[in-house]
Structure 1
Amino acid sequence: MRVSLRQSGGWGGLRLCCSLDTKTLSAEERLIVERTVRTPALFKPSNRLVGGADVAHFEVEFRDEDGTHLMGRFKETDDLPAAQTLLRIMRPHLRPQPRARQR
């Protein structure tokens, strides 16, 4: 399974991203991530991205070997245990994302 996480907003307004194959994680982390991304609350349509500019916003996307593709959005202040679990494992892998050059 491939899992991507993108962060925008937050203090400093940095854009961060990571994309991982769960096979590269420890067995325990892989199991947690694969269970977590199947949590329906992460993928329900909502207006959760409403909030201040200093609140970090996240977009998670996963693609499974069987072709399943889901995307979800949440912010760091949402009361979603699944989101917090996912962030705990994936946040250390986030890296700055280059901004597109303006011409």
Structure 2
Amino acid sequence: MAEETSTKRPAIARIWRGRTKPELADEYETYNYEAGVKPLMEKALGVQTFREDRDGESEFITISYWESVEAMSVFAGSDPTRIHHLDRDPEFLIELPKEVQIVRLLVSHGNVGTA
């Protein structure tokens, strides 16, 4: 499957944001990766996750990359902005996000995302 996706170019980014209390952030990071990011990695062209710890909250951001809105809809359903909450999200998140942001990827420079 890696060979198949290597020829496809990302044109769409789907951005999800969620916030936890700082004392739950480490546990949520692990849970989110296992229950949310791993399955997403099997469908998207690429996935990046971010965490920002601030006073009183930790914000998580997941960005997935897709060749088209149609390809994203195969994973996300007919409305790709609709949130698919993980089973334990209500336990961890300060509030449940109502939608995701979808943006067109215009250009990418350098070796962004290669670790």
TM (norm. structure 2) is: 0.32
Question: Highest CA radius of gyration, 1 or 2?
Answer: 2
